[in-house]
Structure 1
Amino acid sequence: MPLTPLDIHNKEFGRRLRGYDEDEVNEFLDQIIKDYEALIRENKELQNQLGAHQDKLGHFANIEETLSKTIIVAQEAADELKNNAKKEAQLIVKEAEKNADRIVNDALVKSRKVAMEAEELKKQASIYRARFRALIESQLELLNQDGWDALESHESRVRELE
């Protein structure tokens, strides 16, 4: 067990004939007691400071651990968001491709339909033209027949008679 200031104060030395000066020894012991008490106070103060610093260190270690966990959770959340965004983007692209295919197919169907209608109109126009030509040719043929000349001369005679 360590020596206390009270132990020093209560220490009694045996007396001898030619011993040390008692007042000098007592003064020296008093000085030792003061210094020893100061050292003990300083030691307690340093131990208190050490305890406070260890508490702060523990607190900061907890904060560090919490921050590390938070960073890990944030990183995981960011990774999850990134993966979800990629999946959503892929779904959007697939949906857009489906819509594009549907639009292209619809356009092809309409294009074919319009082409068929145009072809049908060309055929009908060709048929109409051929019929109209046949009609005109038959009418020209009628006009070129001899009966018209006779009719014309008959009309001219009727006019002359009038």
Structure 2
Amino acid sequence: MPLTPLDIHNKEFKRSFRGYDEDEVNEFLDQVIKDYESIIRENKDLHNQIAALQERLDHFTNIEESLSKTIIVAQEAADEVKGNSKKEAQLIIREAEKNADRIINEALVKSGKVSLEIEELKKQASIYRTRFRTLLETQLELLNTDSWDSLEGRPAAETSQSL
């Protein structure tokens, strides 16, 4: 068990015939007691400081661990979001490609139909034009015939001059 200042203060030495000067020994013991008490107080203060610093160190160590865990969780979440985003982007691209192919195919089909319709309309226009020309030529022939003049009651010679 370590010595205490009280142990030093209460220590009594045996007296002998040729011993040390009692006052000098007591003064020295008083000085030792003061110094020893000072060292004990300083030691206690240092222990308290160490305990406080250890407590702060533990606190900061806990914060560091929490931050490390948080960073790891955040990194994992970021990786997961990144992976999900890539998958979603690929799905969107695939869907867009499908839609583009569908639109192109529909446009090609419509283009083919329109081309067929144009050709059909050209044929019909040609047929109509031919029929119309034939009709007009027939009508002109009718107008130029002598029978028309006879219907009006005019001689054929007058009709040719008026035209």
Where in structure 2 are the equivalents of 1:75-86 lying within 5 Å? 75-86=75-86
How far off its partner does 1:87 sit?
1.5
How far off its partner does 1:18 sit?
2.6
C-alpha offsets along residues 39-79 of structure 1, whole Å, 9 cap, x if unaligned? 11111111111111111111110111001000111111111
Partner amino acid for 1:156?
A: P
C-alpha offsets along residues 101-144 of structure 1, whole Å, 9 cap, x if unaligned? 22222211111111111100100111122222333344455556
Could you tell me how far apart the structure 2 residues matched to 1:129 and 1:148 are? 28
Partner amino acid for 2:68?
A: S
Considering Cα pairs closer than 8 Å and 6+ residues apart, tell me whether 1 or 2 has the greater RCO: 1
State which drifts further: 118-127 or 3-12: 3-12
Aligned to 1:103: 103
Could you tell me how far apart the structure 1 residues matched to 2:138 and 2:155 are? 26
Structure 1 length normalisation: TM-score?
A: 0.83
Could you tell me how far apart the structure 1 residues matched to 2:101 and 2:91 are? 15
Partner amino acid for 2:134?
A: A
Aligned to 1:120: 120
Partner amino acid for 1:3?
A: L
Aligned to 1:156: 155
Q: Indicate the percent of aligned positions where both proteins have the same amino acid.
A: 72
Structure 2 length normalisation: TM-score?
A: 0.83
Alpha carbons of structure 1 residues 124 and 149: separation in structure 2 relative to 1, 3 Å: closer
Q: What root-mean-square deviation, in Å, do the aligned CA atoms of Structure 1 and Structure 2 show?
A: 2.6
